[in-house]
Copies of this chain bind each other. A is one copy, B any other.
Amino acid sequence: MEYFVGIDIGGTNSKIGILNSDGDILKSTSIKTESIEGVDYTLNKIWGTVLELSDELDISRDMIKGIGMGIPGPVIDQKKVGFFANFPWEKNINISEKMEEISGIKTRLDNDVNVIALGETLYGAGKGYSKSVTIALGTGVGGGIFIDGKLISGATGAGGEIGHMKLEKEGKVCGCGQKGCFEAYASATGVIREALSRLQINKNNELYRLIDGDLNKLEAKHVFDAAKKGDKFSLEIVDYVSEYLAMGIGNVLNIINPEVIILSGGVALAGDILLDKVKEKLPNYALGITIENLQIKLGQLGNDAGIKGASALTI
């Protein structure tokens, strides 16, 4: 038997799993990333954890044929990381080389959202499709484009950064410093911003009651929950967000023309109350030919998508 390691490096925690060649997770765990201790410390700690997991599974080191990693930053040629978002690590570190030195095992990496897209496409909602775009609607908005067996990772690792596609010429300021980004409207943060803004002038609504008038409590989920209860104020926010979601997805359809769009992340969990509106509005933005046979699906793998996709990088 051949085994593969999937690693999803996050800002706080890193998930590590040992998988078979079918992408089944045989054993996995989560450790503190502790990026502050430096890149060598973190990689050695990860490798130590891999050895522990493989011991528990009674798998010898030579049966591990590859290590795959999802990285919070742009990855070039599946080896080098342009920069780490939020880590005090240098630019342009060749993580593949470093990990291969430590482990003696072939290592490949890609951007964390690209790796989630790979996981969902190969083992989750996109199984059986050869052209997919996965859109992660979380704190930010990320994307992963998968075409005929390969991720579109881009020349400098920014392939699939659809969250920073501009939808308004002088729109809302985004965390990236630019204006009008898809992310500024369709992320969980975008939902919260819009709700907070509207709550300043209207407190007579179900949403305000749901958070007991404490604006610090507000999460995107509250907006969707209140909308599901029929709160007109929240339904209007959902409508506002769905318009931008349809516009952003429509643009992706016109450019990439995939067979399936996979939505993951907190905003996607809103479910039909949001998705039905997006589907209704999509024909205003996407060319008819791109939606004829299109499937729009929710991600199926949840937190396992990263590990599964990472393991597939070396299969």
Taking Cβ atoms with an 8 Å cutoff, the residues of A that contact B are: 74, 82, 131, 143, 145, 147-148, 150, 152-162, 164-169, 176, 178-179, 243, 247, 250-259, 284-285, 287, 289-290, 292-294
Specify which chain B residues have a CB less than 8 angstroms from the CB of A252 in the assembled complex: 255
Prevailing SS type, chain A contact patch: loop
Contact, CB under 8 Å: B160 / A243: no
Specify which chain B residues have a CB less than 8 angstroms from the CB of A179 in the assembled complex: 284
Specify which chain B residues have a CB less than 8 angstroms from the CB of A290 in the assembled complex: 154-156, 158, 161
Query: If A131-B154, A154-B258, A256-B152 touch, does A287 touch B169 (CB 8 Å cutoff)?
Result: no
Specify which chain B residues have a CB less than 8 angstroms from the CB of A176 in the assembled complex: 287
Contact, CB under 8 Å: A156 / B255: no
* Ranked 10 nearest A-B pairs via Cβ: A154-B257, A158-B257, A155-B259, A159-B257, A165-B251, A164-B254, A161-B254, A158-B290, A158-B289, A156-B289
Specify which chain B residues have a CB less than 8 angstroms from the CB of A160 in the assembled complex: 255
Assembled-state Cα–Cα distance A23/B79 (Å): 34
Query: If A131-B155, A158-B257 touch, does A289 touch B74 (CB 8 Å cutoff)?
Result: yes
Assembled-state Cα–Cα distance A247/B169 (Å): 8
Contact, CB under 8 Å: A243 / B161: no
Assembled-state Cα–Cα distance A250/B165 (Å): 7
Assembled-state Cα–Cα distance A255/B164 (Å): 8
Specify which chain B residues have a CB less than 8 angstroms from the CB of A82 in the assembled complex: 289
Specify which chain B residues have a CB less than 8 angstroms from the CB of A161 in the assembled complex: 254-255, 257, 287, 290
Specify which chain B residues have a CB less than 8 angstroms from the CB of A292 in the assembled complex: 156
Closest CB of chain B to A121's CB: distance in Å? 14
Specify which chain B residues have a CB less than 8 angstroms from the CB of A256 in the assembled complex: 152, 154, 159, 255
Of B158, B243, B251, which is within 8 A of A287 by CB? B158
Contact, CB under 8 Å: A287 / B148: no
Closest CB of chain B to A182's CB: distance in Å? 9
Of B255, B284, B289, which is within 8 A of A165 by CB? B255
Assembled-state Cα–Cα distance A155/B210 (Å): 44
User: What residue of chain B has the Cβ atom nearest to residue A165's Cβ?
Assistant: B251
Closest CB of chain B to A140's CB: distance in Å? 13
Closest CB of chain B to A183's CB: distance in Å? 10
Assembled-state Cα–Cα distance A287/B154 (Å): 13
Contact, CB under 8 Å: A150 / B152: no
Contact, CB under 8 Å: B247 / A166: yes
Specify which chain B residues have a CB less than 8 angstroms from the CB of A143 in the assembled complex: 255
Contact, CB under 8 Å: B162 / A258: no
Additional A-B contact list (15), CB under 8 Å, known A74-B289, A154-B290, A255-B255: A147-B147, A152-B152, A154-B257, A155-B257, A156-B289, A156-B290, A158-B253, A158-B257, A160-B255, A164-B254, A167-B169, A168-B169, A176-B287, A252-B255, A255-B256
Closest CB of chain B to A187's CB: distance in Å? 15
